[in-house]
Structure 1
């Protein structure tokens, strides 16, 4: 079996990447260990072309000219040509992309095309109450029409995506993201009392603005509390920095406690477990997620975790049993949940133990990889019978 993933986010040292890149890197490594050939094709972070083998995964980082208005066309051509060349050398069985990834990609005969619902334009437009961008909406609809099958990373993303994009009678499988259990496990480091850690892209939909606002309530009762914000910046269409906006509008509201919030920037994936381990509580009050990786990662380390009650939050955490859920739009609710953890050490520790047990049962990479292999085989066998 030969799987080809399409992504521009495959992790590269020194460059930020999102959850999709982490997911593909984690899944690919174990697929290779199972004897499956894996290729990853996407744009490079730099203006050059690179080909390398990482944990047995053949990674093609391609360069395409940036021509305003036509970048999508040239990127597609470069990626399509490389996939064709790979296929001629070693026949591909499955090409997998995220929601918009198949929009303009020509299909190769005998190859099955899969979309993994990581959360597309229609999904997040609904959750953020904004209009559909005509161009992006067109691309996503076109991409979905090209897919032979789908993987939904949560029941919520499956249900809400299908409200806008037709899945017709094609195969749809619900498979969790896998968590690297060897990487995220309890480690002995000193816990910083009343330290809150956030990890993820620093943008509005991650609830970071409300988390900063919650600090005003937390500091009233716990004046030594601190918030470390770990992750890459997000930029508005005009190029303005979201972090700089927060520094200009939200941080000053904390007045003399402004230094209680620290922007740590991008944290190396290998260092992330240490960051989680040192936290008193890990807080991820997202307005919306497809499933999210950071919450189960921190849960796997037996940390008290605050997650969102919106979307698939209840699919990840059982409130007061494996963690806490909050209203991500309500700074006071976020603050109350975090203060509860500070006040109830024994109960919080018990939640951490339950959290790790839950992750080991539901996000175990070995069982999830087997689910993916079974899914891929079903598609391949179905394609051969046509």
Structure 2
């Protein structure tokens, strides 16, 4: 069986990538280890074509044309051409993309197309209480019409997406994204007391503004506390930096304690476990997630994790048992959960141990790879 993933985010050294890139890299490695041929096709970060073999995965990075207003057309044609070439050499059984990824790709005869629901435009428009943008809405509808089946990364994203984009009797299954259990293991290294660690894109929907606002009541109770923020910046439509906005509007609220919040920039995937190991608590107060791997990754290291109580948060964490859930819109509630972790270090340690056990049971690579292969085989007899 030959699976081809469509993504521009497959990890490349020296370049930041998002959660989808991490997911495709991790799952693909597991598929290859189970005898499945895997290709990945997407735009390159650089102005050239590249082919690379990574852990047995054939990665095609394509030069992308930057044509204002028509980039989507030219880039879709480039990807479609490459898919046709790959298929002629080694027949593809399944092409998989995220929510809008199939919109402008012509379907190859005899190939099945799967959408992995990482959270698309309709989903986030609902969760963020904003209107669906017409052009993005059209793209997503076109993409969903072409899919032969769907995999949802959480029950929440499945249920809310299909309110807007109907299933029409096509196969759908909820399968967790796998956690790299070898990468995220407990590290025999003392944590730094009262250190809070956040990893993720620094943007409004990740709850980072409310987390910074939570630092004032935290510092009143624990003056030694600090917040390290690791992640790439998000830009407003006019190009302004979200981080600079936070530095201008939110950090001054901390007065002479502004140095307790550190923007550390994007971090290489290999370094993330070391940063989690330093944390007293790891905090991810997202306004909305489809599932989010950062929470289970930190949990896998045995860390006490504070996650959002909204969306799929309760699918990942049982409050007070495998972690803590917070109201991501309420800085005082975020502060309350963090202060509990500081004040109850022994209980927080036990929560961390149970968190790791939960991840080993629910985000286990072998189990999830088997589930994916079983789903794919509905469409292929190879």
TM-score normalised by the shorter chain: which range applies? Answer: over 0.9
Q: Aligned with 2:119: secondary structure?
A: coil
| TM-score (norm: length of structure 1) | 0.98
| Partners of 1:231 and 1:48 in 2: CA distance | 26
How far has the Cα of 1:92 moved from its partner? 0.1
Q: Deviations over 1:141-177 (max 9, x none)?
A: 0100000000000000000000111111000010001
Q: Which runs of 5+ in 2 are unaligned?
A: none
Partner of 2:266: 266
Equivalent residue, structure 1, for 2:241: 241
* Other structure's SS at 1:264 match: strand
Counterparts of 1:316 and 1:149 in 2: how far apart (Å)? 24
Distance 1:33 1:380 in 2: 19
Q: Does 1:207 align with 2:211?
A: no
Matches of 1:241 and 1:110, distance apart in 2:
46
Aligned to 1:361: 361
The CA deviation string for residues 9-57 of structure 1, in whole angstroms up to 9 with x for no partner, is: 0000110100000000000111111111100000001111111101110
Aligned residue in 1 for 2:224: 224
Q: Could you say what secondary structure the match of 2:151 adopts?
A: strand
TM-score normalised by length of structure 2: 0.99
- Residue number in structure 1 paired with 2:349: 349
Deviation per CA, 1:83-111: give whole Å up to 9, x if none: 00000000000000000000010000000
SS at match of 2:211: helix
Aligned residue for 1:59, secondary structure, equals strand
Q: Deviations over 1:202-228 (max 9, x none)?
A: 100000000000001100000010000
CA distance in 1, matches of 2:248, 2:190: 33
**Structure 1 position 280, deviation (Å):** 0.2
SS in 2 for 1:239: coil
Q: Which residue number corresponds to residue 322 of structure 1?
A: 322
Map Cα deviations across residues 209-267 of structure 1 (whole Å, 9 max, x no partner): 00000001100000010000001111111111111111111111111000000011111
Q: Which residue of 1 aligns with 2:103?
A: 103
1:29 aligns with 2:49: no
Runs of 4 or more, structure 1, over 2 Å off, are none
Query: What residue in structure 2 maps to residue 14 of structure 1?
Result: 14
Partner of 1:177: 177
Unpaired segments ≥5 residues, structure 1: none
Instruction: Give the Å deviation of 1:379.
Output: 2.1
Structure 1 position 372, deviation (Å):
0.3
Distance 1:59 1:284 in 2: 31
Equivalent residue for 1:143? 143
Check whether the contact 1:189–1:274 (CA below 8 A) recurs between aligned residues. Answer: no
Offset at residue 190 of structure 1 (A): 2.5
Contact kept? 1:309, 1:326, Cα under 8 Å: yes
Number of the residue aligned with 1:72: 72
